[in-house]
């Protein structure tokens, strides 16, 4: 079996699981974006998934993405030729001093979580003329060591981001490990609804079906598509 078959097989298996979860939830498959999280994976590991038709990819570090994606985008089929164009998502913590590079490379940023970063991103949008979609990351389990804006600060951060001209489209969260994630997904959905945000970036390899049941629109799947990370 070639690498392309392997990538296509893995993608098809995840696609079938997404379709089934969407059906159980009474939702359309088209409401859910599958983001393939390719952090730590090499260009040679990622390219077969691009060739298999996967269009959205996520990375957690700006420098790693800058090292891999220009070459991968060169290889990606031209828009229209296979019906897809690659979109890049940043899902990891973003340092303010990398905001300009991030805005230049990524189509979506899922980790907007503090006031200083909103300011840096707004300056980067002005400087580059690019305006990526933004998700505000919420520290949904109120965990000391985790990224994300405290729930109590969400209203203020959202209005700051909107006033600064960022294209805020939704909320993102990573629930606490090793506990039932559904209540945290449900809380994120409630917060998004309260703030009039349509998109919910939640659900990873271990729990994306649960996330879909609770309304996820953007699921971030790494291990289940690429195998375990070294
Ligand atoms: C690594 C990562 C993922 C993917 O995790 P898997 O368990 O490998 O699917 C999703 N979201 C974020 C923020 C990540 O850092």
**Cα–chain-centroid distance for residue 89?**
5
Q: Distance from the CA of 204 to the center of ligand 1, in angstroms?
A: 6
In this prediction, residue 76 carries a pLDDT of 65
* CA contacts within 13 A on the Cβ side of 61: 7
CATH number listed for the domain at residues 3-226: 3.20.20.10
Q: Which among 39, 112, 222 is the best mutation to test ligand 1's pocket, defined by most ligand atoms within 8 Å of the CB?
A: 222
Distance separating alpha carbons of residues 58 and 30, to the nearest angstrom: 19
- pLDDT tens per residue across span 19-68: 999 999 999 999 999 999 999 999 999 999 999 999 999 999 999 999 99
Query: pLDDT averaged over consecutive 10-residue blocks of the chain (230 residues)?
Result: 72 97 98 98 96 96 97 75 80 98 98 98 98 98 95 98 98 96 98 98 98 98 92
Q: Distance from the CA of 152 to the center of ligand 1, in angstroms?
A: 25
Cβ atoms within 10 Å, residue 143: 13
**Cβ of 91 below 6 Å from ligand 1:** yes
What is the gyration radius of the CA atoms in the chain, in angstroms? 17
What's the whole-model pTM score?
A: 0.95
């Amino acid at each position: 079996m070639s690498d392309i078959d392997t990538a296509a097989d893995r993608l098809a298996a995840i696609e079938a699981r997404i379709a089934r979860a969407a059906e159980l939830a009474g939702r359309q498959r088209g409401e859910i974006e599958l983001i393939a999280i390719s952090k730590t994976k090499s260009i040679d590991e990622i390219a077969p998934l691009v060739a298999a038709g996967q269009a959205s990819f996520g990375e957690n570090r700006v420098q790693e993405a800058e090292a891999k994606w220009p070459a991968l985008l060169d290889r990606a089929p031209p828009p229209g030729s296979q019906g897809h164009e690659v979109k890049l998502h940043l899902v990891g913590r973003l340092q303010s001093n990398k905001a300009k590079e991030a805005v230049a490379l990524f189509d979506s940023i899922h980790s907007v979580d503090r006031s200083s970063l909103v300011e840096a991103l707004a300056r980067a949008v002005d400087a580059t003329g690019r305006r990526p979609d933004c998700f505000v990351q919420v520290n949904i389990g109120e965990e000391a060591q985790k990224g994300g804006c405290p729930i109590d600060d969400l209203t203020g951060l959202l209005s700051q981001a909107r006033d600064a001209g960022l294209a805020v489209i939704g909320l993102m969260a990573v629930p606490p490990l090793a506990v039932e994630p559904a209540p945290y997904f449900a809380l994120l959905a409630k917060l998004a609804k309260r703030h009039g945000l349509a998109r919910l970036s939640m659900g990873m390899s271990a729990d994306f079906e649960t996330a879909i049941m609770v309304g996820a629109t953007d699921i971030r799947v790494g291990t289940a598509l690429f195998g375990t990370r070294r």
